[in-house]
Structure 1
Amino acid sequence: MLNPENTVIGFIGIGVMGKSMAGHLLKAGYSVIVYSRTKEKATDLLSQGASWEATPKAIAEKASVIFTMVGYPTDVEEIYFGEQGLIANGTPGSYFIDMTTSAPSLAIRIYEEAKMKGIQAIDAPVSGGDVGAKEAKLSIMVGSEREAFEEVRSVLELLGTNIVYQGKPGAGQHTKMCNQIAIASNMIGVCEAIIYAEKAGLDPENVLKSITTGAAGSWSLSNLAPRMLAGNFEPGFYIKHFIKDMRIAIDEADKMGMEVPGLSLAKALYDHLAEKGEENSGTQALYKYWKN
């Protein structure tokens, strides 16, 4: 069991969600060392007591538990591998927890190479967006050795309220693919419902009062539809990252010989928006597909 008195935590990736997550660890009394490519992103955390290191290598040398929350699988590879990476410079007995949504095969590779150094690697992607990160109510999907999960469970509980051990290394990432597949088609339905309400001359905000609590209810309908109506397309989760996730899920489904028509359609719609310059908008900007 980890505790603040003898555990130094590293956190790599201070983005929309990572900043809030690292803040929860600080508030729990842990010593937290942070790194992101742009130091300015960590200003608030530094004012709260976090310390800064200029490289992942430096964090690996000082922290016994390291969270990574970056954008793409290529970023994960850059942080974990090579002479300057976490695995080469980590201390035996450490725990690496990658919360990036990434490829299951990469999670397995990280686990295997870390294990050779006496380090436990855990894939623990999350769902819940910026709101879930701020409120420490994320859903966390874990793939690892069971013993490693039990050892880090206490710090995961500082970040989320639904923490489920899914199985062996890579299982967390596969579970996140299930999550993204479900969201992808649901977002199409949410947008079409709102556009339909508008074209029918209804008050869409009033419509939401009826349908969010019925059989059509979903997190996206309750949390993102109001943002659409308010014209708020700031990212809780970037379109560019969602496209990356859908690409991974389509590739994994293809390996299993599975067709995913709903997911493929959603990706095509989001690809269209990205081509129109919306890649840095939140996923709720899918609403614009019908408005443009």
Structure 2
Amino acid sequence: MDQTTVIGMIGIGVMGKSIAGHLLSKGYQVHVYTRTKSKAEDLITRGAIWKDSPKEIATSANVIFTMVGYPQDVAEVYLGKEGLIAHVDRGTYLVDMTTSKPSLAKEIYEQALAKQVFALDAPVSGGDIGAREARLSIMVGGDREVFDRIKPLFELIGTHIIYQGEAGAGQHTKMCNQITIASNMIGVTEALIYAEQAGLNPKQVLQSIETGAAGSWSLSQLGPRMLKGDYDPGFYVKHFIKDMAIALEAAEEMKLTLPGLKLAKHIYDQLVALGEEESGTQVLFKHFMKINPH
């Protein structure tokens, strides 16, 4: 990929805005679309070109990244009558970074291939911090040669970029990531509440345990937010529930029973019932504090 590449970005949320910003800062022409134009104003001020629909992105860019909310949004953007595959030119590269269904990734790949269009599923991990600092973990499924061509662009937004296998493999890998986080979030929350109840200094406890066997991204990055009462979304509760539901569906298809994941989803479903779907996943701490009054 060279500087003549025109990049499209669909979805300017917590993650998409930073991804588009990094590509823009490296001198690429970036065309953007998102449902709420105000979310893209900062990028437009910096030189990004606004487009009014995915169809307009399809006809103006030759490498298109998407980071939207739910599988149904992915299906609409890629497979709808006004979507990307119906309108992109032959030889266009499509990279879906949304956490979505592995089966949908395979369907997009097959329909793209039929039009001689290249599709990758490339979900990411690292949250808002990883996106801002261009150190996302990127898990990629699709054809290896297509991955190799797009990798220089991935290297502008991530630091841990691994080709996982055929179409859908990126999404399956992201499910492994989310399954790990689901139970870990419960452990992080309970550990910090235990520390407070035991009369310890939770910040000092974090310093001791985050570098030992208990260490994790959630502990180091979200533990301090929990203690500050900072529940702003680096990753929304509503999106985490979506991911867990996808993982449970895929597990059922493979005849797997995942009790830890089921428990985590049940607890996060309770947070939605309490009106916390727009909060960050670390809001679990607030909920557990309420059910464990001092």
Count residues in correspondence.
290
Aligned partners of 2:252, 2:53: CA distance in 1, in Å? 37
1:124 aligns to 2:122 (yes or no)? yes
What one-letter code is carried by the residue in structure 2 that aligns with 1:85? G
**Paired residue for 1:66?**
64
Rounded to whole Å, the distance in 2 between the matches of 1:45 and 1:65 is 18
Spell out the pairing of 1:1-292 with structure 2 (5 A cutoff): 2-4=1-3, 6-292=4-290
Q: Once structures 1 and 2 are overlaid, which stretch shifts more, 75-84 or 272-281?
A: 75-84
The Cα RMSD (Å) is 0.5
In the TM superposition, what whole-angstrom CA distance separates every residue of 1:34-88 from its partner, at most 9, and x where no partner exists? 0000110000000110000000000000100000000000110111112211000
What amino acid maps onto 1:9 in structure 2? I
Q: Partners in 2 of 1:48 and 1:245 — Cα distance?
A: 32
The one-letter amino acid paired with 1:127 is S
Q: Is the 8 A contact 1:269 1:289 kept in 2?
A: no
Query: Higher mean Cα deviation, 200-209 or 170-179?
Result: 200-209
**TM-score, normalising length: structure 1:** 0.99
* Superposed CA offset, 1:163-196 (max 9, x none): 0000000000000000000000000000000000
* Displacement of 1:93: 0.4
Rounded Cα–Cα distance in structure 1 between residues aligned with 2:161 and 2:90: 26
Q: Which runs of 5+ in 2 are unaligned?
A: none
Q: Which runs of 4+ in 1 moved over 2 A?
A: none
2:81 & 2:103 partners in 1: Cα distance?
21
The TM-score normalised by the length of structure 2 is 0.98
Report the AA paired with residue 3 of structure 1: D
Distance 2:277 2:244 in 1: 14
SS at the partner of 1:165? Answer: strand
Identity level (%)? 64
Which amino acid is the alignment partner of residue 211 of structure 1? I
- Deviation, 1:289, is 2.2
In structure 1, stretches of 5+ residues that fail to align are none
Structure 1 residue 133: Cα displacement: 0.1
Distance 2:288 2:38 in 1: 37
Structure 1 counterpart SS, 2:94: strand
